[in-house]
């Protein structure tokens, strides 16, 4: 059986604040909404993919003031380097604290939503690098400069290879 990731559901305190963040800053569209049960909390479904009813849903059920639950982060892949740069600019304008980290195989932006849920948005580089590995990357560089930096920074790492040559090599590692 092959499982593929479908969606995540977050329990939230501030429905409007979270909804604004995911729709306005990250570009999700609302696909459905309603109550979980007759007198239950609201649930709002969102997606960026017309073939997926929802990639993310929020349930307005949290009342605690503690940090987000044990979820470490949700990760979203984007199609282009320019998408990462555009999002970086939007996050900066929104005053979001951003951690730009390259794993060699990705160029990632790590940040939190307004309720502290960890998020990663990344673009795949052409290379595979054994994980875990991570180095801060300079988001002011253009695509060519960034890819040259990634190659220089990670080419001496274990299992560094072209992504297509390494496909599947990471499965069933001890």
Q: Any residues with CB less than 8 A from the CB of 167 and at least 6 apart, and which?
A: 128
Which structure tokens are listed for 76? 């979203």
pTM for the structure as a whole: 0.78
CATH superfamily of 1-61: 2,3-Dihydroxybiphenyl 1,2-Dioxygenase, domain 1 (3.10.180.10)
Q: What is the pLDDT of residue 131?
A: 82
SS3 content of the chain, % helix, strand, coil (to 5): 25, 30, 50
Q: How far apart are CA 98 and CA 92, in angstroms?
A: 8
Alpha-carbon gap, residue 117 to 111, rounded angstroms: 8
Q: How many Cβ atoms sit within 10 Å of the Cβ of residue 109?
A: 23
- Name residues whose C-beta falls within 8 Å of residue 18's C-beta, 6 or more positions apart in sequence: 10, 12, 58, 113, 114, 115
The predicted model gives 151-156 an average pLDDT of: 96
pLDDT tens digits for 13-65?
A: 899 999 999 999 999 999 988 888 788 888 999 999 888 888 999 988 877 77
**Residues carrying CATH 3.30.720.110, the chain:** 71-174
Percent of the chain topping pLDDT 70: 89
Q: Are 84 and 121 in contact (CB under 8 A)?
A: yes
Distance CA 49, CA 54 (A): 8
Could you confirm whether domain 71-174 is CATH 3.40.50.970? Answer: no
**pLDDT beyond 50 at 170:** no
């Amino acid at each position: 059986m092959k499982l593929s990731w479908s969606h995540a559901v977050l329990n939230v305190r501030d429905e409007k604040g979270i909804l604004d963040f995911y729709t306005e800053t990250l570009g999700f569209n609302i696909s459905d909404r309603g109550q979980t049960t007759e007198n239950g909390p609201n649930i709002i479904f969102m997606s960026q993919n017309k073939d997926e009813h929802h990639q993310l849903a929020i349930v307005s059920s949290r009342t605690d003031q503690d940090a987000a639950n044990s979820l470490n982060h949700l990760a979203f892949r984007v199609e282009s380097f320019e998408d990462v740069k555009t999002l970086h600019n939007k996050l900066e304008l929104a005053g979001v604290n951003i951690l730009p980290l390259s794993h060699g195989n990705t160029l990632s932006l790590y940040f939190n939503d307004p309720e502290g849920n960890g998020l990663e948005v990344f673009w795949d580089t052409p290379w595979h690098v054994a994980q875990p590995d991570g180095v801060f990357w300079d988001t002011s560089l253009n695509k060519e400069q960034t890819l040259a930096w990634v190659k220089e920074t990670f080419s001496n790492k274990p299992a560094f290879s072209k992504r297509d040559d390494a496909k599947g090599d990471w499965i069933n590692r001890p």
